[in-house]
Chain A
Amino acid sequence: MCRLFAVTSDVPLSPMEAVGALNVMKEGHDGSGVGLFMTGLGGELERYKELPILSGIVTLQGLEKVDQYMSERGFTPLYQIPFERSASLPSFTPKREMYLVRVYHTPKDREWDMLTEKERQDRYIEIRLALRELGLRDQSIIVYAFWPDTVMIKEIGDPVEVARYLGLDREGLSARITLAQGRQNTNYSITLYACHPFFVQGYATMTNGENTAFVPIREFLSSRRFPGYVGYESDSEVFAHILHYVHKWLGLNLETYKHVITPLKDESLGVHPDGEELRRLKHVMRPLIIDGPNCVIGCLPDHALLMVQDSKKLRPGICGGRPGRFVFSSEMCGLEYMIPDRDKTRDIQPMGTDMVTVGEDRKEMRLWSQWDRYTLSRAA
């Protein structure tokens, strides 16, 4: 079972902090890979906040393709993080030609200026998918994200060793929100596209456990005709896509996400004050019901963090912290590592019908239950 760790902090933190937390949970993962998602960037990337960042791994040949494609689309490279790779290559980590975290300037033309925010976002995903396609066959381009204020790094190998190898402790690389996953491998050959966290248009999630309802969910999402619902190298990718589908595509409130993936039982709906509305929602969203065992930690475009469990609550997960800094972690030792000086009586281990969120203000954790009153409504 993988280990998950997410931190949201007023002060930007180095990704090494999150990697350190994964390390204390090492009993729960086999060091076969690490995935990092960072947003609310600090340091040198903060000033490019509005501009899209391309995150991925390329070969030199792939880089040429990227350069050519991006220049055809009118995007010009502005800044990139140099990965110096001073430490020795960790065992099991393949030697890569180039890690890419590169800020692009958007096209300086009238057409781009005329685009709405939504149209720009659609362009970003179109470009990410095109690059992915360009490098799919010869593995020359692996791209995780092309989105403003977002850095993603994924690599095979022990999290600490990989982080040292990539020099992630460099000054200037920091983020207010970091999602990190320590991978427990269940496949013999590891596809980087199968590594968490998963990302689509500002929504990122990571999960542990298997998704037994994966195939019907994948088929349903694929049939929604949103170009970003592709990939599915991992059964967990659908959690990010369901979140995006409910919250962005349909534009519904976050509570609906939880009611979609783990609806209340029929008999519970019979006594819930908003049971009829929830029953209709359950009918309509039936193909997106997850059956666990899963703990999902996610991040929304508004920089809120969330943690939900499957309805049987078969995976560990704990949330805790203090104003200004909160951690969502698979295990208590991860939380303890990052925020030992918190009020532990306020830690929350969300159960099957709960959702814990922390907003961008980082003032408090909000515990919401599916038993609370509910109205199907637009996202705020």
Chain B
Amino acid sequence: MEPMGSIYIKPSSLSVKDLPWQIYWDKEKCTLCGRCTSVCPVRAIEMGVFRKRTVNVDVNDRSAASNVHTIYYGIKQQTEVARACIGCAMCDLVCPNRAIYPLRSDEMDKLRFHIDQGGEPRKRGGRRNSPGTLLDQIKFTRISMLTDPALDAGRHEFELRTLLGRVLSPEEMVSHMEEHGWSLPVREIYPLIIGSMSFGALSPTMWEGLQMGIAYLNEELGMPVRMVSGEGGVPPRLLRSRFLKYMILQIASGYFGWDEILHAIPEMKEDPCAIEIKYGQGAKPGDGGLLMWYKVNKLISAIRGVPVGVSLPSPPTHQTQYSIEESVAKMIQSMYMAWGFRVPVYPKISATKTTLAVLNNLSRNSFAAGLAVDGEDGGTGAAYDVSLNATGHPIASNIRDAFLTLTRIGKQNELPLIAAGGVGKSGNPASNAAALIMLGAGAVQVGKIVMQASAGCLGSEGDRCNICNVGLCPKGITSQDPRIYRRLNPEHVAERLVDMFVSFDTELKKIVAPLGRSTSLPIGMSDALGIADANAAERLNISYVC
């Protein structure tokens, strides 16, 4: 395009209107304090100097007309692709006068066509940009009425723990009884597990806050909440502390942090809760973990055993794996062996049409302690936008198929299923989790909602913020920059985490009590479920209600 006056317009030159978010700034209210410009994580706004011309015309004497040129200072929104506003609204949060906030564009932005500068597709954090989940539509429709009394969620005693570990079949139990056989470890844990968010993906303050919250939940409230480490190792002091028993250590294809973990084994005071072998992640199935170079500082590099300042993409699969039949079995056994068969080991995969094939193999592997399946609505710290938005499988039908398959072969209690991906996406973690449990999951993992509820994560499926990958998290949740993560007080995170779990627990009771259930987690109680979508009802083998 030809230059238009002094402004050269390139194909990727965008107007404010072309961006997904427009900054509203009120000159009258603004005190020019500069807090908004300094807090903005992507430098989308700058202090600007604006030239203004005022024409003064006297209605009685035209000859007296004059031009007055003045300047004023204000906030200017940047339109470069790299500096497009992400809608985090931190400017609003810090503004003393409510003079500035981002507004969502009234039409589809043009930024999306230019975000691949240099031929590099967009990468981001967060989850699939699609609000809501089918889980929100599932209702609990089998309410105990008179023929059997509904229970009192506030007064009855509830046992909502679940099992993690390879459980014997009753027939095996009898032969063990006679042969004095030994059995694999089984953990009794809370059915809501904090899913894998690594040290590295999360900031040190966020991890510390979660650890404190978990310790409080376990030791003060008696709720056996567990957290998966993610693939990023574990701080050495935690490995050698009694709090390790609340952790599920994850080993993934990059093996990051495992040198440190293995070396710490002789010094461990407690066994970890379990080992999760990650083969896939719902947010980006078939793709490995990714920690971008921005976040690989000295601390992270030390824990993970890698150089500073390099991106850490894990391979899509374990390099030693070429077939599930043999090498997955070997890996499961190796991990058992590392802790003397005292720690359950289970794989995690992303939801896929091939889940049942994996399950089939695991059901015949007598060591597999469970199977975690992560659906397409799961979150991530960093992934290609296309993976997030276009690949993956919903969790509901996948976990249902898996459970019904186990039921057919009679192993529904032996091999616990853990469901993840979108639980609490719309702020309904208890009903989402209960729906998955009644579809057949033994436990549920959550990640994103933990960041949202306990640390104030701003990300959304409306593509708000979602810059976890570059370490600029405005709340300090996913940043490795001390100037940013010191914004997050670990004690406040711990407090909010406890709030979240305690309220989840109350809500879960409010769901199971009317169903007349209190003495065991209603795994597979599909007769309690209904949905006003005939196709979904048929697919999930639950009632259609309207």
Contact = CB atoms under 8 A, between A and B. Distances in A.
Contacts of B174: 250-252
Contact of B516 (A220, A262, A292): A292
Given A291-B519, A311-B519, A283 B524 contact: no
A225 B410 contact: yes
Nearest to B404: A219
B543 to A, nearest CB: 12
Interface string A251-292: 110000000001101100000000000001101111101111
B147 A186 contact: yes
A216 B410 contact: no
A292 B147 CA distance: 11
B107 interface: no
Interface string B503-546: 00000000000011111101111110000000000000000000
Contacts of A186: 147
Contact of A283 (B186, B519, B523): B186
Central interface residue in B144, B157, B167, B170, by most chain A CB within 10 Å: B170
B485 to A, nearest CB: 38
Q: Could you tell me the dominant secondary structure of chain B's interface residues?
A: loop
A68 interface: no
Interface in A89-119: none
Interface stretch (A173-181, A207-215, A364-372): A207-215
B183 A280 contact: yes
A289 B168 contact: no
B413 A220 contact: yes
Contacts of B523: 216, 286-287
A286 B520 contact: yes
B169 interface: yes
A88 interface: no
A364 B518 CA distance: 34
Contact of B144 (A1, A212, A215, A290): A212
A212 B519 CA distance: 11
B522 A216 contact: yes
B525 A215 contact: yes
A286 B167 contact: yes
B185 to A, nearest CB: 11
B408 interface: yes
B298 interface: no
B90 to A, nearest CB: 45
B525 A223 contact: no
A215 B524 contact: yes
Nearest to B171: A250
B163 interface: yes
A250 B172 CA distance: 10
A224 B410 contact: yes
Given A212-B517, A289-B519, A284 B167 contact: yes
B173 interface: yes
A314 interface: yes
B407 A215 contact: no
Nearest to B186: A283
A314 B148 CA distance: 9
A292 B174 CA distance: 27
Interface in A200-231: 209-210, 212-216, 219-220, 222-225
Contacts of A214: 527
B278 to A, nearest CB: 26
B188 A287 contact: no
A293 B148 CA distance: 6
A213 B520 contact: yes
B177 interface: yes
Given A220-B413, A262-B519, A266-B188, A215 B527 contact: yes
A112 B159 CA distance: 50
Nearest to A261: B519
A314 B412 CA distance: 29
A210 B515 CA distance: 11
Central interface residue in B163, B173, B411, by most chain A CB within 10 Å: B173
Contacts of A363: none
A376 interface: yes
B293 to A, nearest CB: 46
Contacts of A250: 170-171, 174
B163 A283 contact: yes
B527 A293 contact: no
B24 to A, nearest CB: 54
Central interface residue in A223, A224, A245, by most chain B CB within 10 Å: A223
A186 B407 CA distance: 29
Given A224-B410, A284-B413, A286-B413, A213 B170 contact: no
Interface in A281-329: 281, 283-287, 289-293, 311-312, 314
Interface in B159-196: 159, 161, 163, 167-171, 173-174, 177, 183, 186, 188
A312 to B, nearest CB: 7
Interface string A174-202: 00000000000010000000000000000
A44 B370 CA distance: 57
A216 B524 CA distance: 6
A291 B517 contact: yes
Interface string B391-427: 0000000000000000111111100000000000000
Contacts of B516: 210, 212, 291-293
B156 interface: yes
B149 interface: yes
A266 B173 contact: no
Nearest to A376: B177
Contacts of A210: 144, 147-148, 516
A280 B173 contact: yes
Given A210-B144, A219-B412, A284 B527 contact: no
A266 B519 CA distance: 10
Contacts of B518: 291, 312
B170 A285 contact: yes
B519 A287 contact: no
A265 B520 CA distance: 10
Contacts of A312: 151, 156, 518-519
Contacts of B413: 220, 284, 286-287
Contacts of B522: 213, 216
B526 A215 contact: yes
A232 to B, nearest CB: 12
Interface string B258-281: 000000000000000000000000
Contacts of B169: 284
A213 B167 CA distance: 20
Contacts of A225: 410
B385 to A, nearest CB: 40
A225 B149 CA distance: 33
A215 B404 CA distance: 12
17 contacts: A212-B148, A216-B523, A216-B525, A220-B407, A220-B412, A223-B408, A223-B411, A224-B410, A250-B171, A251-B174, A266-B159, A284-B168, A286-B163, A286-B413, A286-B520, A291-B520, A292-B519
Given A219-B407, A222-B407, 12 more contacts: A209-B148, A210-B144, A212-B148, A215-B524, A220-B412, A223-B410, A245-B170, A281-B173, A283-B186, A286-B523, A291-B516, A291-B517
Going nearest first, the 6 A-B pairs with the smallest beta carbon separation are: A223-B410, A212-B516, A210-B148, A289-B520, A216-B524, A215-B527
Interface of A: 1, 186, 209-210, 212-216, 219-220, 222-225, 245, 250-252, 262-263, 265-266, 280-281, 283-287, 289-293, 311-312, 314, 376-377
Interface of B: 144, 147-149, 151, 156-157, 159, 161, 163, 167-171, 173-174, 177, 183, 186, 188, 407-413, 515-520, 522-527
